[in-house]
Structure formats: structure tokens, C-alpha cells
Amino acid sequence: MKIIRVCIFLMAVGCASFAAPAMSKTAKGPSKTAAANANRSDTAIEQDLKARFARSKIASDKFQAHVQNGVATIEGKTEVIQHKGAATRMAKSAGASSVVNKVVISDAARSKATANLAKAKSDGGGVKKAIVATQ
């Protein structure tokens, strides 16, 4: 019984010591980048986003982007599943407050990803190999 109490005490102390540093940090508020992006016009965000698209590997997809009231809407079609997520991340980093991603992933890309996932599972490699294989 005493051993159980000691174990419970040690677990509680251990949990508290891991949680204390996280709880002691105070929120600093929005970052400088977020504050700077909040003051940007829709036109500036849209131009920045289109420039980011042009400089990246997703330029070949020729996505269309429009920004209204800070909300970026992305439309287009892609043969690479990861390009949809990349477009969303680029819109956020360009200063969009939120993103509506209407990019359509081709059936061929979906089939390829499904086949890669099935192959990785049958090889015993799990998801990590499937992710590497789809890139």
C-alpha cells in the first residue's frame, strides 16, 4: 500500500514538473508577422499570394486566387495531392485571415495515392513509406 502511494506521488510530481514550464509561459499576443498582415489590403494579399504561387513548384497548376475581406479563395485542379495543402499554407503566410480551398484533386492522383498507401501497408512500412512514395 505504501509503495502504491509513493508511486502515485512520484507520478503526480513528474506530471507537475512537465506541465509547469508550459503553464508558466505567458501568451505574447500576435506575432509581428500576424500584426503586419492584419493591416494589409486584399489586393496586397492577393498579389503576394500569386507571387508565391509563381515562385513555387505549384506554378504549373495555375491556381486562381481571389481575396475578399481577408479571406482567400483558391480554385483550380492539380495532379499532386500535396499541392492543395501547399496552396492553403501559402495563402495563410501571405496574410489571409482564412482560406477557402476549392482545388480539385484529379482521380489519377487519388488512385496513385491509394495504391501507394496499400503497397506500403502490405510491405509493413506503414504510412511513412506511403507519404514518401506519393511525393
Report the pLDDT value the prediction gives residue 123, as an integer from 0 to 100: 79
Higher pLDDT, 99 or 26: 99
- Closest C-alpha to 95, from 55, 53, 39: 39
The fold for domain 41-105 equals Histidine-containing Protein; Chain: A; (3.30.1340)
Residues 59-68: tens digit of each pLDDT: 999 999 999 9
pTM: 0.63
pLDDT digits (tens, 9 = 90+) for 3-60: 555 445 445 545 444 444 444 444 454 445 555 666 789 999 999 999 999 999 999 9
Proportion of the chain in helix, strand, coil states, percent, rounded to 5: 65, 15, 20
Q: How high is the pLDDT of residue 18?
A: 44
